[in-house]
Chain A
Amino acid sequence: MISFNFDYYKPNSINEAVEAFIYLNSKGKQPLYYSGGTEIITFARENSIYTGGVIDLKGIPECNALELKQDYLIIGSTVTLSEISDSKNYLLLGEVSRGIADRTARNKITIGGNICGKIQYKEAVLPLLLTDCYFVIAGENGIKTYLISSIFDGKLKLKPSEFLVQILVPAENVNLSGINIKRRRNSTVGYPIISVAAIRKHKQIRLAFSGVAGFPFRDIGMEKEINKQNLTIEVRINNAIESIPYPIKDNLFSSAEYKKFLLKNALMEIINTLEAINEDI
């Protein structure tokens, strides 16, 4: 039961969506862009979020795209995690998606919602951080395209009227060998203690993490350490963990020490798996 009342808008175009936002904002309605709704609904139930108006993006054709066009895989922001994993267009993203929540929830949770929501894990962004993709963002200043590294820093840096329209993944990066290791407290479903996505390109491992810090990140310094192939695997892993630029903290589901333990094992598995694959690009 949501105790407050709110307006509901379902625009058919990007422009209409932005206009609705500006209008609701001018009325002091604290509008929110709405996609799958799983976070807004559950947070509203417990009063940890408030809005006087939601703008449902699922009626916008661009947001529903999921296709390989020329050199890019286009993923609309309102595409559900189930659709992504079922499409098998992008295997690593599909694998990460399948690890989020449960099937029933994934039929509602969208990639845009997962990346732009308040919950810290945002695991769907992990493969994207590794593949030099672009985010198409709409707002009152029009539609712009950004390289992920320039606009995602722990979270997507959106201005109030802006929303994520699409993600463009370079086709050459979609089918790179990849792996996702997710460890939970003790369940096959639920939030991660740690979730790590990795790929190998040009004989270099790329790593992105969720759960380790309070936000998802990819760190070039860690990757440098992990790729020093002249050192032993143990040393590479220890150096990589030492170079994590953020403090690893205890949280509800795990102590910091246990996180480090899991991280070491995950990195070991990643190196052993990815460096064993011969068809390297």
Chain B
Amino acid sequence: MRSYLILGKSIKRVEAEDKVTGRAKYTGDYNIVGLLHAEMLTSIYAHAEITNVDISKASNVKGVKAILTGRNYPYLTGSVIEDRPIIAIDRVRYYGEPVAVVVADTRANAKMAANLIVVEYKPLPVVNSPHEALKPNGPILHERLMEYRRLGEEAYPEPNSNIANRTKIRKGNMDRGWRESEVIIENQVSLPQSDHAAMETRTARAEFLPSGDVIISSSTQGPFFVRKEISRTFNIPIGKVVVTTTLVGGAYGGKTNVQLEHIVYLCSKAVGGKPVELVNSREEDMISSPVHIGLNGVVKLGCTKEGVLKAAEILYLFDGGAYSDRAVIITRAAGIDCTGPYRIPNVWCDSVCVYTNHPYATAFRGFGHGELTFAIERAMDMLAEKLGIDSLSLRIINALHTGDTSPTQVLLDGSFGNLTKCINRVSELMNWNERGPVVTEKNKVKAKGAACFWKTTSMPTDSQSEVIITFNEDGSVNLNSGVVEIGQGTKTGLAQIVAEKMKMDINKIHVYLPVNTRISPYDWKTAASRGTFMAGRAAIRASEDAIEQLKKIASIVLRSTEDELEVSGGRVFLKTNPIVGVDIKDIAMGYIYPNGNAIGGQIIGVGRNISNLTSKMNAESGRGRPGTEWTLGAQIVEIEIDLQNYHYKIRKAASVIDVGKVINYMAAKGQVIGGMAMGLSLASREEFLFDSRGEIKNDSLRTYPLLRYGENPEYIVDFIETPQINGPYGARGVGEHGVIGMLAALADALSRAVGVSLNRLPLVPEVIWRAVEEGKK
């Protein structure tokens, strides 16, 4: 195996000291002279006409500068389909939707005024679930659905319906598939909408300069995407829009959406361009801003008596909420990987995004995969039980390998990860042979559950990342990339990659952490686990570019040719005689001869990486290559449940993931553990509770539970390294993957313990109790 200087090592994050000392600054942490503050008034109905908005009382509050209502701003926005007003216009479609915004000198005054706005509503019938959305003659949320502008990415809305998108996957021949199937099962699952729960609530600030520049500062995962959205929505030349993003305090996909940025733009414009800031309260961040998508799924699988899968018929019905935003692409992503990492020759899948009167959904860590994996893995477990074979053995029998094709008929190449290795390793780490159920003490049972997953990206075919490295007088390097530091540590990984490539001390790589769209090179979004994967390769190329430049000038100084030179340890020297060389510091800013003559100039390395070879999907069959690479893995969870009251403890959780190559061991492990904790929290307790009117009854952390620090199980993480040819040093993305299998693995463990198949999340004790009671009948 190749040995590396710095790659794979647990290098401390570049921003670690700033964070642990409290000095790190987030978007809302800046004191700005003359800053005005915006506060929203949000809807108290899930679906209603706005018949009147009375701002007279609110206008009289001291310090109020402007009050914005939707009717004055007839813009529609969206990620794929432009269906969402910036502030509700004449109608609200979810509980918590912004109805009016007040700009005032202080937050308190703005909020006081917002509370004094009187809105009159006329309630409308509510679509309170994906099934209700499909009822014939039910309420239609977007009558003008087919007239909305679409923004390039694939979307297939259906007229006179609540269907925002239907992604179709058709592979093989279903008749043949069912004919060859000797054992058939069908299973239904559901999981509710929930919160991202990032520590930093979403924050945005806008300002118009007299020069015509529009400056937006935002806690976003996609500053360049915000720039594009602001430019398109308000018709401003893109170069005039500057978006800056400093550190982001957790995002999990929730900050890929553009919402507050549009609002503060309008606010600033309404007060003559003065800077205006809007900080979500926790409650607003939970429901007014977009949420984690919900799913109802039906999976039918057929296989031979030996367990070889022959057919899959799958319906994924996603609760996209009131506006389609990224839910359209989540639906598509769930279609792309609809079968899980299994070889199934005949596949029929409809992945459907429906409108409901729930908050709208955007990306969430896993991007549809935690959801589809829950559906597929529960069906696989049911099939294994019916066949009477071990559930992980069934997965090994059907694991996809190089040479097989994916549901969208992509031929899996030599880079495809090794699921069998992942399964064997995680089985060993968690002692799968003793999976239970085992009675531990009176009324207590211990059991283990497993799940496998895969995930590829679902992003535009031209999505890209660029990296620029510039050199300083002392030969050290500044690293600039458009990747946002959202807590994932990508920029530390990029520094490692540059240090490795330049064979340079890591302490000589200085990372520029913020992103400024006028300074930083382009980056699509810091999402889809692609920061290291995409920008990593750009960093390698930037280093190669710099090395070439260094060799060029050194060849003049050393009177040699470039191919005779080597760059390492801060020097450029002759391969054949390393004593003869020049320090990088003496050529990084040009070389000066003894008589004062100078040549060259600052070394600036540039690296680009575009997601080449991805393609669009066929509308009828889904055929196409939408993703860059797959990361796959296997996970096991161990629980202990008290059969008297169905309360349980999650004791252990393990993940083994084929990441291609570990760039920073602790960072990768941390990402996986964080994902696992999030998955267990989702699976065990998180959900928005709607009443019959579609109003959310737990929009605060008093009543919305998250996995607590002390409730975490013991985590075990290991990696398999099957190199990814198009990844940096063979690495794949790993940011999201810890979350994906946790939902299904927990359900499997609990199902095994109580002897009843559990298919509804979250798995709170009452849900288990109810399933057991129904099982008795």
Q: Is the CB of A42 within 8 A of B702?
A: yes
Given the interface pairs A186-B765, A252-B698, the reply to whether A1 lies near B708 with Cβ below 8 Å is no
Given the interface pairs A3-B115, A252-B697, the reply to whether A187 lies near B766 with Cβ below 8 Å is no
> Does chain A have a CB within 8 A of B741?
no
> Does chain A have a CB within 8 A of B710?
yes
Task: Give A160 to B710 CA distance when docked, in angstroms.
Answer: 41
Q: Is the CB of A46 within 8 A of B283?
A: yes
Given the complex, which residues of A lie within 8 Å of B570, measured CB to CB?
none
Task: Give A42 to B703 CA distance when docked, in angstroms.
Answer: 13
Given the interface pairs A187-B708, A190-B705, A252-B697, the reply to whether A258 lies near B770 with Cβ below 8 Å is yes
Q: Which residue of the partner chain A has the closest CB to B767?
A: A186
Residues 626 to 662 of chain B near chain A (Cβ within 8 Å)? 644-645, 647
Shortest B367–chain A CB gap in Å is: 26
> Does chain B have a CB within 8 A of A183?
yes
Residues 156 to 202 of chain A near chain B (Cβ within 8 Å)? 183, 185-191, 193
Interface segment, one of B106-114, B407-415, B424-432: B106-114
Task: Give A45 to B281 CA distance when docked, in angstroms.
Answer: 9
Q: Which residue of the partner chain B has the closest CB to A259?
A: B766
Q: Is the CB of B708 within 8 A of A254?
A: no
Given the complex, which residues of B lie within 8 Å of A188, measured CB to CB?
708, 710-711
Interface size on A, residues (CB 8 A): 27
Q: Is the CB of B108 within 8 A of A186?
A: no
Q: Is the CB of A252 within 8 A of B762?
A: no
Task: Give A265 to B646 CA distance when docked, in angstroms.
Answer: 11
Given the complex, which residues of B lie within 8 Å of A262, measured CB to CB?
645
Q: Which residue of the partner chain B has the closest CB to A42?
A: B702
Of B112, B644, B645, B703, chain A has the most CB atoms within 10 Å of the CB of B645
Q: Is the CB of A2 within 8 A of B108?
A: yes
> Does chain B have a CB within 8 A of A255?
yes
Given the complex, which residues of B lie within 8 Å of A261, measured CB to CB?
645, 769
Q: Is the CB of A258 within 8 A of B112?
A: no
Given the complex, which residues of A lie within 8 Å of B647, measured CB to CB?
183, 186
Shortest A105–chain B CB gap in Å is: 10
Q: Which residue of the partner chain B has the closest CB to A181?
A: B645
Contact with B along A1-38 (1 / 0, CB 8 A): 11111000000000000000000000000000000000
Task: Give A183 to B765 CA distance when docked, in angstroms.
Answer: 10
> Does chain A have a CB within 8 A of B405?
no
> Does chain B have a CB within 8 A of A47?
yes
Q: Is the CB of A3 within 8 A of B112?
A: yes
Residues 731 to 774 of chain B near chain A (Cβ within 8 Å)? 762-766, 769-770
Task: Give A106 to B290 CA distance when docked, in angstroms.
Answer: 32
Task: Give A193 to B647 CA distance when docked, in angstroms.
Answer: 13
Q: Is the CB of B111 within 8 A of A3?
A: yes
> Does chain A have a CB within 8 A of B187?
no
Of A45, A185, A262, A269, chain B has the most CB atoms within 10 Å of the CB of A185
Contact with A along B138-162 (1 / 0, CB 8 A): 0000000000000000000000000
Closest 9 CB pairs of A and B: A3-B111, A186-B764, A3-B112, A186-B685, A258-B766, A187-B705, A265-B644, A185-B764, A252-B697
What would 8 more interface pairs be, CB under 8 Å, given A186-B763, A252-B697, A254-B766?
A: A1-B107, A4-B112, A46-B283, A186-B647, A186-B685, A189-B708, A191-B702, A265-B644
> Which B residues lie at the A interface, using CB under 8 A?
39, 107-108, 111-112, 114-115, 281, 283, 644-645, 647, 684-685, 689, 697-698, 700, 702-703, 705, 708, 710-711, 762-766, 769-770
What are 22 contact pairs spanning A and B, CB under 8 A?
Answer: A3-B39, A3-B108, A3-B111, A5-B108, A47-B115, A102-B708, A183-B645, A185-B705, A185-B764, A185-B765, A185-B766, A186-B685, A186-B764, A187-B705, A188-B710, A189-B705, A189-B708, A190-B705, A252-B698, A258-B770, A265-B644, A265-B645
